[in-house]
Amino acid sequence: MPELPEVETVRRGLEPVLVGASLTRVRQNRPDLRFPFPDRFVERLEGATVERIDRRAKYLLAALSTGETWVTHLGMTGRFTLDGTQLGEFEESAPIAGKHEHMSFCAVHGKATTRVGFADARRFGFMGLIPTDRVEAHPWFAGLGPEPLGNGFSGAHLAETWAGKKQNVKVSLLDQRTVAGLGNIYVCEALYRARISPLIAAGKLTKPRLETLAAVIRDVLNDAIAAGGSTLRDFANAEGGQGYFQHRFDVYGREGQPCPNSREGGEGCSGVVKRIVQGGRSTFYCPSCQKR
Ligand SMILES: [Zn+2]
């Protein structure tokens, strides 16, 4: 499933093609994805110019010259293609079947035309059109906390939000009202990098540890975005795949393996990565490094 870094990688790939481009030859090949497409979707996109493309949590937002913002959520398997080449990283190389391309259009930028397609084999993705001045109030966005890579997210924000909070820090970090778009993988990785136990009550963390936590959250996301950006070029001629590529992680998915901190240059931890379930989701951590 694409997490925030993958969505940001897709945004960065679409930006040079879409911003300033007008949308023509818009096609919609089925009535719905996870939800129905908006009414008159094709007509409302046709001829519009894209003014900018932003990301909020795991949503892509293309602000249009028509005063509407075209919102895309990639769901589990949603991906864009540019002139038939997919944008993003995928773990397998099974080609995209044509029947899975649910909408397409041409982005005309001066004399350059790029054919853009959207495919989503499992159809957990969805698209919407929202008046641009009402995006923040829309139910998809109204309850979201600050962006983890934005100025509103900090140790002070966590301290204020979590004062007296008894719920564990792992489940607390997945609450989208606290921080937007942070998924299970990156929460596990950030807690490991900050050497914070996933079991500790959120309200028990001191301000210096919360500052560390906010900083490493930004670091793990920026590292993943940087890796996605470099891999994107490598994948320029790749065939389509069925799932998003997952980076190599320190603890996520590594149950039973030695703590990475035991590698050469580490602090010599002899711990083994453990998996527990918190709030119905897997948590991977090193009980030796992340004692408190
Ligand atoms: Zn360890």
Residue 260 Cα to ligand 1 middle (Å): 7
Residue 175 Cα to ligand 1 middle (Å): 26
Residue 292 Cα to ligand 1 middle (Å): 12
Annotation marks residue 2 as catalytic: yes
Annotation marks residue 160 as catalytic: no
Q: H or E segment at 130?
A: strand 126-131
Q: Are 180 and 140 in contact (CB under 8 A)?
A: no
Burial of 49 (0-12, 13-18, 19+ CB in 10 A): middle
| DSSP assignment of 153-189 | -SHHHHHHHHTT--SBHHHHHT-TTTSTT--HHHHHH
Residues recorded for the chain: 292
CA dist 123 and 138 (Å) reads 22
For the cut 90, the answer to whether the pLDDT of residue 160 exceeds it is yes
pLDDT of 99: 66
Residue 189 Cα to ligand 1 middle (Å): 12
Classify residue 213 by its DSSP letter: H
pLDDT of 227: 78
pLDDT of 124: 92
Annotation marks residue 58 as catalytic: yes
Task: Name the residues around ion ligand 1, CB cutoff 5 A.
Answer: 259, 261, 269, 271, 286, 288-289
Residue 283 Cα to ligand 1 middle (Å): 15
Q: H or E segment at 86?
A: strand 85-86
Question: Can you give the C-alpha Rg of the chain in angstroms?
Answer: 20
pLDDT, tens digit, for every residue of 32-72?
A: 999 999 999 999 999 999 999 999 999 999 999 999 999 99
Annotation marks residue 248 as catalytic: no
Of 11, 56, 58, 274, the catalytic one is: 58
Q: Are 36 and 102 in contact (CB under 8 A)?
A: no
